[in-house]
Amino acid sequence: GAVVSQHPSWVICKSGTSVKIECRSLDFQATTMFWYRQFPKQSLMLMATSNEGSKATYEQGVEKDKFLINHASLTLSTLTVTSAHPEDSSFYICSAIHLMGSNQPQHFGDGTRLSIL
């Protein structure tokens, strides 16, 4: 089945550091990728939707300059958390979809646990 690889799976870094998370679709072309944030024991919070070759669409309340998203190719999207602080610590999950449509399931990466000291 379709596979999405997310890297790294775990990051621990100092406050003020910028962290880049990669999301790759391994066996299909992902026209659209989603980035989610998940707090402990809570549901997924959609942060942004990115389409290949265009700017990401951010959800209300998500800082564009804080969470930089790049979707330069049909198989790779990156999320960069700039100048990360402890409140940015969370579980970040990406997903990819081949074609937008109501019957298309998302294919998820395994998530990245980000811990800012």
Partner 1 sequence: GDSVTQMEGPVTLSEEAFLTINCTYTATGYPSLFWYVQYPGEGLQLLLKATKADDKGSNKGFEATYRKETTSFHLEKGSVQVSDSAVYFCALSDEGGSYIPTFGRGTSLIVHP
- Which residues contribute to the site for partner 1 (CB under 8 A)? 4, 6, 34, 41-44, 46, 49, 93, 95, 100-111, 113
Pick between residue 38 and residue 80 the one whose CB is nearest to partner 1.
38
Quick one: the chain helix, strand, coil %, rounded to 5? Answer: 5, 50, 45
What element of type H or E holds 20?
strand 19-25
Instruction: Round to whole Å and give the CA distance between 63 and 116.
Output: 18
| Nearest approach, Cβ of residue 83 and partner 1 (Å) | 26
| Nearest approach, Cβ of residue 66 and partner 1 (Å) | 21
| Nearest approach, Cβ of residue 43 and partner 1 (Å) | 4
Pick between residue 73 and residue 104 the one whose CB is nearest to partner 1.
104
Tokens of 68: 């930089």
